[in-house]
Amino acid sequence: MSERKYIRDGRAPVPRHSRTSALMSRIRAKNTTPELILRRALRLAGLKGYRLHFAKVPGRPDITFVGPKVAVFVHGCFWHGCPYCRPRRPKTHKGFWNDKLDRNKVRDRRKSKALRAAGWRVVTIWECQVERDPDRQAGRVARALDGRSP
């Protein structure tokens, strides 16, 4: 297998191993496995009519129920700093990763605050929660749709 060349844009440090670069390049922002699992659970619970990555509201939530104004974020534990499973941060390039992951958390809070200020209910669901019990997380979304606290 030939070594694949990746174009670097300067935003991230160069990984020490080429396989790290290859792995990181496959990480997606939309339609992640936890999102797909949750969407399946929502369908099985009869919760339909949502928009995906709806750009007309602050923060572009992963799942948006426009009429009842419910925004759902499905956060990856590593990328968003899960308070439940507390994933480890990389040991190499610590400065870069600490800044990046801390900025992600600040951005998440800013998005939720903007949505709440605009009258939306916000449900944040963590990757580990979806993997553990997707039906329970669909129930949280259902409660938010009913106007109850998620």
Domain range list for the chain: 26-145
Residue indicated by tokens 């801390």: 102
Domain formed by 26-145, architecture: 3-Layer(aba) Sandwich (3.40)
Q: 94, 93, 76, 98: which is closest to 85 by C-alpha?
A: 76
Instruction: Work out the burial of residue 145: count CB atoms within 10 Å of its CB; fewer than 13 is exposed, 13-18 middle, 19 or more buried.
Output: buried
25 has a pLDDT exceeding 60: no
114 has a pLDDT exceeding 80: yes
In angstroms, rounded to a whole number, what is the distance separating the alpha carbons of residues 53 and 44?
20
5 has a pLDDT exceeding 60: no
**How many of the other CB atoms lie within 10 Å of CB of 142?**
16
What predicted TM-score, i.e. pTM, was given to this entire model? 0.80
